[in-house]
Structure 1
């Protein structure tokens, strides 16, 4: 009557051992950065949605750019590889997780064998037959010390890391396409500027040529006018090349030729081209940036592998068994009395392995320390990207304002120089310098506007924006602090 009680105790002990885990308790490393970005001019986000929740359709106000982003998310090969990597990681996790369960196989086999007389007990040759049908379990490991579960958790963390890598790839793709598009728009406007400048200089050259033919201008003035025309032609060729290369970059990113029905682009000077982005705490950055989350999943995977390395020091128990029927005649397989079974437990206890298990544990711990360093470096890199973009944000506004004032002054200077030259007060050299100064100032203004927009795109990306298509409703401000 005591046997059921003993059985219950045995089951309880097995269940208790089955819950044993050698994985170290995971603790997120402290972030090696400041708690917020106030030192870089960032204001609290308030009730606005986090940047990571601002959809790219709301952030990018140019309909043409929105269409290109949608195409890239459908066709880009780098993003496709990231998605396939997720499928591979999911499959690998499934393979590892399956080791936690016994594999049951159905087997059927038959043998027919002749035994010579000198090997037979009767001294006569015999022919024997044996047929079997059974269900069997082969080398199923009782995971008493959590080795298999540790490996499964490590594979799960790798799978989750691949998910975050896919998010990071998409965010980078959106930012790359936006930068390529802004570069194309900048090249377009530089080309238009070069063409306007070429026309102005060509008109000036024609006037100087008439004056030279009439003996009212020197050959020096004619050659100076010619040099300006050739300089404008050179700038036009550079702008055409840059625009073609920027278009090629867009084609590569969207994975197909540019559609003919794209909406018309907006000018770079339009204020609604890009939206502003709120900046929160560095703890928000840690929670929302997919590359940081991927690095943390890699750290969790390395931590779980320590549990598997520790479990290797303990006995490993595996079970092999089969249940079915066996008979010397095929027709008797399912007759009464043909029941057959086998049960073969095996226990393996490491006694001496030349330090292999100790070395594997040291290796797992070293890889975890590497993962910690990589996680901290990822946080530091992300914090610097945000800080750099914030520091540049205000300076670009001041630079553009000053550059616009310079363009206005240079344009007025050109008008006065042209008037004085036509009235014979100044030489053509002063007019030449004024034309060069205006062209350089206009180029610098356009470049500053492009750099400001690229910087805003970089800030949007560095804060985790570009994953959502449409803006998610604002959430309550987090109360947690950086650990």
Structure 2
């Protein structure tokens, strides 16, 4: 026969459990609304489908395809000394430290404190006659405390996972910053190469124009030319000289820019030689595009980690709705005596141990607001990821369109330059023989100069377009598995069954299936 005391304990336990369950705040009506886009659902477009496919993604040192040793050294120097990259790496270390601190909450916590003080007691001023009157004593305290959170609903576990996801996202942000630095250096270096090519064209044009001026003088002196011909030949010289000065200015500015990108002073730019870029690499696409784009773009992978972190944040906010149980224990001693170590005697010690329970009952909607904020943050992270994925695929398509267009434009520009040169040669010959005036020479020379500059511009744009394609493909992120899996992008909803019990309803079918 069961004792009355046993029945009473069972009743009290049941009553306590009922109060706990009833006291849990209501989570109904608060849930994320956004879903991450599957990459396969995005149409890559005609440009990407028409591009030749290869089985390779960019190498981590993709810029070596340009075949310029100075460029290789410049990027290696920049990656080692760039303040921007150093700051990005510091943010990674900071996030890793936060993750380590969050993980520490899962382990038992042991703390100790010791107080050793010397005190003189007054003589019957406040306390009246007694053994401590007008004496000096040691008032010493020592204690050890132990606490361990049972984490019944996974709050601390999800908080640690969220912090780790944030650290992963920071690491990918640092890789994205590195890729941006590499691309910026390549583009500036290509621009420097173009300016040198334009200087060559401008120098040749100026020298040729001076020869024509000399010819016009000789024709005037020989009586077969006119002062107008000489004036027309001299007129372009100041402008050609100005253009040459402007190009040299651009070269100096590019040197300074490259030095700054490398984390150096302008003096480092002065030592740079003329680029020797030669791009023989093709612009083929990997055969697995776009399915594996999410594993190769640093910004896309970072966005996925952010979504995963926000999903864990929802679980942290949801766990706050339920009772929290900690196991606590303490051991210590206290003594007021003339002996300094008296507090260490067993007679002066005490201990305590047991569970500590806390639960929300009335909180003015604070917990619901926190869960609502976490859900909204998750939706924002998902939409940011979706936008990043769409932008990534657009950039790949844009780069392919650009590369293909520039290949055709280069052929057209070179043919136009050949025809412009032929026209100039004919007009120059006619002028030398006195068969035509100098106006024809000016017109044909201007057309040839413009055609040569367009060729140099298009060649430089093709070099830059290759860098844009490498950037769009992720620039050599070597381990696609570094990204979070699809299951990590949705809240785990570990508490769905408990929600249903609290509110007297069965879990919805899609929740039970989607979050097993």
> TM-score band (shorter)?
0.7 to 0.9
- C-alpha contact (below 8 Å) 1:32/1:380 kept by paired residues: no
Partner of 1:395: 405
1:73 and 2:83 are equivalent in the alignment:
no
Residue-by-residue CA offset, 1:391-428 (whole Å, 9 max, x unaligned): 11111111111111111111111111111122222111
- C-alpha contact (below 8 Å) 2:110/2:145 kept by paired residues: yes
Q: Which runs of 5+ in 2 are unaligned?
A: 1-26, 490-516
Q: Quote the offset at 1:114 in angstroms.
A: 3.6
- C-alpha contact (below 8 Å) 2:416/2:451 kept by paired residues: yes
Partner of 1:442: 452
Residue-by-residue CA offset, 1:445-471 (whole Å, 9 max, x unaligned): 000111111111100111011557xxx
In the alignment, the residues of structure 2 paired with residue 263 and residue 191 of structure 1 have an alpha-carbon distance, to the nearest angstrom, of 15
In the alignment, the residues of structure 2 paired with residue 238 and residue 215 of structure 1 have an alpha-carbon distance, to the nearest angstrom, of 38
Q: Which moved more, 1:293-302 or 1:220-229?
A: 220-229
1:295 and 2:306 are equivalent in the alignment:
no
Q: Quote the offset at 1:225 in angstroms.
A: 1.1
Partner of 1:16: none
In the alignment, the residues of structure 1 paired with residue 348 and residue 218 of structure 2 have an alpha-carbon distance, to the nearest angstrom, of 118
TM-aligned CA distance change 1:133 to 1:290, over 3 Å: same
Structure 1 counterpart SS, 2:268: coil
1:331-342 maps to which residues of 2 (within 5 A)? 331-342=341-352
1:25-424 maps to which residues of 2 (within 5 A)? 28-31=36-39, 34=42, 36=44, 39-43=47-51, 45-46=53-54, 48-51=55-58, 53=59, 55-56=61-62, 58-110=64-116, 112=119, 114=121, 124=130, 126=132, 130-137=139-146, 140-256=148-264, 257-258=267-268, 265-266=275-276, 270-272=278-280, 274=281, 276-280=283-287, 281-328=289-336, 329-343=339-353, 345-424=355-434
In the alignment, the residues of structure 1 paired with residue 226 and residue 274 of structure 2 have an alpha-carbon distance, to the nearest angstrom, of 47
In the alignment, the residues of structure 2 paired with residue 363 and residue 70 of structure 1 have an alpha-carbon distance, to the nearest angstrom, of 43
- C-alpha contact (below 8 Å) 2:48/2:397 kept by paired residues: yes
- C-alpha contact (below 8 Å) 1:135/1:322 kept by paired residues: yes
Structure 2 counterpart SS, 1:283: coil
TM-aligned CA distance change 1:439 to 1:263, over 3 Å: closer
Q: Which moved more, 1:445-454 or 1:147-156?
A: 147-156
Matched length: 446
Structure 2 counterpart SS, 1:388: helix
Q: Quote the offset at 1:277 in angstroms.
A: 4.4
TM-aligned CA distance change 1:181 to 1:58, over 3 Å: closer
In the alignment, the residues of structure 2 paired with residue 367 and residue 247 of structure 1 have an alpha-carbon distance, to the nearest angstrom, of 44
Residue-by-residue CA offset, 1:78-98 (whole Å, 9 max, x unaligned): 111111110111111122222
Q: Quote the offset at 1:123 in angstroms.
A: 5.9
In the alignment, the residues of structure 2 paired with residue 404 and residue 467 of structure 1 have an alpha-carbon distance, to the nearest angstrom, of 37
Structure 2 counterpart SS, 1:447: helix
Q: Which moved more, 1:28-37 or 1:283-292?
A: 28-37
Higher relative contact order (CA 8 A, sep 6+): 1
In the alignment, the residues of structure 2 paired with residue 63 and residue 289 of structure 1 have an alpha-carbon distance, to the nearest angstrom, of 26
Q: Quote the offset at 1:221 in angstroms.
A: 1.9
TM-aligned CA distance change 1:117 to 1:271, over 3 Å: closer
Structure 1 counterpart SS, 2:362: coil
In the alignment, the residues of structure 1 paired with residue 318 and residue 122 of structure 2 have an alpha-carbon distance, to the nearest angstrom, of 51
Q: Quote the offset at 1:316 in angstroms.
A: 2.6
TM-aligned CA distance change 1:68 to 1:351, over 3 Å: same
In the alignment, the residues of structure 1 paired with residue 129 and residue 333 of structure 2 have an alpha-carbon distance, to the nearest angstrom, of 30
Q: Which moved more, 1:276-285 or 1:329-338?
A: 329-338
Q: Which moved more, 1:253-262 or 1:369-378?
A: 253-262
TM-aligned CA distance change 1:116 to 1:309, over 3 Å: farther
TM-aligned CA distance change 1:203 to 1:32, over 3 Å: same
In the alignment, the residues of structure 1 paired with residue 205 and residue 390 of structure 2 have an alpha-carbon distance, to the nearest angstrom, of 46
TM-score computed with the length of structure 2 as normaliser: 0.78
Q: Which runs of 5+ in 1 are unaligned?
A: 1-21
TM-score computed with the length of structure 1 as normaliser: 0.83
RMSD, aligned CA:
3.2
In the alignment, the residues of structure 1 paired with residue 78 and residue 61 of structure 2 have an alpha-carbon distance, to the nearest angstrom, of 16
TM-aligned CA distance change 1:455 to 1:425, over 3 Å: same
Q: Quote the offset at 1:322 in angstroms.
A: 1.7
- C-alpha contact (below 8 Å) 2:224/2:434 kept by paired residues: no
Partner of 2:11: none
Q: Which moved more, 1:396-405 or 1:313-322?
A: 313-322
Q: Quote the offset at 1:184 in angstroms.
A: 0.3
Partner of 1:4: none
Partner of 2:23: none
Structure 2 counterpart SS, 1:369: helix
